[in-house]
Chain A
Amino acid sequence: MHPLLTRNRLRLYLLAWVPLIAVSIYVLATRGTLGWLQATALAIAVFLFYALLCLSAWYPCRATPLGKVSFIRFLLTHLTAAAIMSLIWTQAGAALSYAVLSPEKFAAITRQFEPQHNSIFTVGALLYLLSVALHYVLIAMEASREAEARMMETSIMARDAELKALKAQINPHFLFNSLNSISALTSIDPSRARDMCVLLGDFLRLTLGLGEKTSVRLSEELDLLQKYMAIEMVRFGARLQVHEEIQEESRACLLPPLLLQPLVENAVKHGIASLPEGGDVRLSAHRETGRLSILVENSWNPEAPPRRSGGRGLKNVQLRLEARYGKDASFRVNTEGEFFQVSLNLPAESEENA
């Protein structure tokens, strides 16, 4: 859409042409044979036509974005366009005069302006180039406004994701199922039921505690994950096998709280729960040359229909990473192999250098 073709902008643009029209009327009426009325009509018609013609500068401007094309091409494009437009204008002006004026007056005016033909052509070209400059300004304005809107949108989305992620941390269904397991254990094995109550209590306390911080050490997040896994292992029994491979140096690294919990929950909910025989959830973390890489993988059934909530947890983690580290962190999902893999790579911050 042409940036000037809104009612307010078009009005301002045409208003800018008014002084030019006024001067031309004055020149036409006082230096020639035309009356005021004829001079006014002719000047308005000629310049209104050119004002609209100059709007077409938008297309070559858009086709040759500043800084993205060579200077030669930039110059050639606009000078050629200026010459063509000015030519069209002068010819149209002549044609218009011929149509509006009586033959004598047309002959007189042609004679009068003959010597100035070149300067009129130059004025036309300059006016067109002015319009080119105006269009570049408008395009730049538009682009900066778009960038601003995009940034707003990203930050709103990130904050939204942050909020949702924190709110959704304690999945109520996880809670209901765990309570049901406890209910079963009360008659089978009361002491295990009590252990499960303690685990669940610890898990809830840690979740609420970590959720309030902006950064936590990986070791704190791992504590939480262990509670979570221990609870799920009661629920799923032998179906859930957990393997951890945590490099000692990585434990002190800082990361947003509850970043890994949704990944592990996802691994259990969408991976293990869809396999009748169960499977593995593997978690590994390494710190190397200022980077922290984390891998969460789980056995899965690639043919299982995706559940509705699947992917939202992952998307949230990705958005939170983006909001926190921008391009400095990566989030990858690999569904190629036997394992469903989510790998994170982020700057290794620790409390000393953070």
Chain B
Amino acid sequence: MSPAPNKPWKALIVDDEELARHVIREFLQSHEEIEVAAECANGMEAVKAVAEHKPNLIFLDVQMPKLTGFDVLELIGTEVPVIFVTAYDQYAMRAFDVHAVDYLLKPIGRERFDAGVERGKAASARKCRPRTSSPPLRALPNNSSSAWS
């Protein structure tokens, strides 16, 4: 599956709950530059999907069957920017340690999600360069520091 030229970003959604994936998918619809490459229901699928689709943004749940979100990161490394999406706030410090781009708490709000996506795109532009060269620099948010507060 080759990305449409107007969708330079490929995202992966990893969550064991169908409804939780749905929220993210729906929020991503308003980000036309991002294509959802795959959805995964557990950590093992996620590791495979990363190898297969080479996404440049991952939305990752922490508590999942087989492998947790942190296990996944251990396997795929920190090359791809990761945004954690979880109901648990106690993993935030650990997420920071593994260089997560952002940490979204369920239930997720639209504005907070969009801020996270902007951070993700900025990190992605720094780390792995999207396929087309035009948008990333413009996509850099000017309030990137506030997203972690």
- Please tell me if the beta carbons of A187 and B41 are within 8 angstroms of each other in the complex: no
Interface magnitude class on chain B: 20 to 34
Does A185 contact B41, Cβ atoms closer than 8 Å? no
Contact A274 B106 (CB under 8 A): no
Within 8 Å CB of A184, what residues of B?
19-20, 22-23, 26
Q: Tell me the bound Cα distance from A275 to B63 in angstroms.
A: 11
As a 0/1 sequence over residues 173 to 217 of chain A, the CB contacts with chain B under 8 angstroms (1 = contact) are 100110111111101100000000000000000000000000000
Asked if B41 and A276 sit within 8 Å, CB to CB, the answer is yes
CB contacts (< 8 Å) of A173 on chain B: these are 87-88
Query: Is there contact, CB below 8 Å, between B19 and A176?
Result: no
Residue numbers in B under 8 Å from A275 (CB-CB): 65
What number of A-B contacts does a CB cutoff of 8 Å give? 59
Which of A61-69, A109-117, A231-239, A318-326 is near enough to bind chain B? Answer: A231-239
Q: Interface majority SS on B: helix, strand, loop or mixed? A: loop
B127 at the interface (CB under 8 A from A): no
Chain A residues closer than 8 Å to B17, beta-carbon distance: 177, 180-181, 235-237
Q: Which of the four size classes fits the interface of chain A? A: 20 to 34
- Partner of A179 from B16, B22, B106 at Cβ < 8 Å: B106
CB–CB A276/B42 < 8 A: yes
A171-B16 Cα distance, complex, nearest whole Å: 19
For the complex, is A40 an interface residue (Cβ under 8 Å from B)? no
CB distance from A304 to the nearest CB of B (A): 8
Q: Is B49 in the interface zone, CB < 8 Å from A?
A: no
A-B contact pairs, 24 of them (CB 8 A): A172-B87, A173-B87, A173-B88, A177-B17, A177-B87, A180-B17, A180-B19, A180-B23, A180-B108, A183-B23, A183-B108, A184-B20, A187-B26, A188-B22, A234-B19, A235-B17, A235-B19, A236-B17, A237-B19, A273-B65, A274-B65, A274-B66, A276-B16, A276-B41
**Interface on B for A, CB 8 Å cutoff?**
16-20, 22-23, 26, 41-42, 44, 63, 65-66, 87-88, 105-108
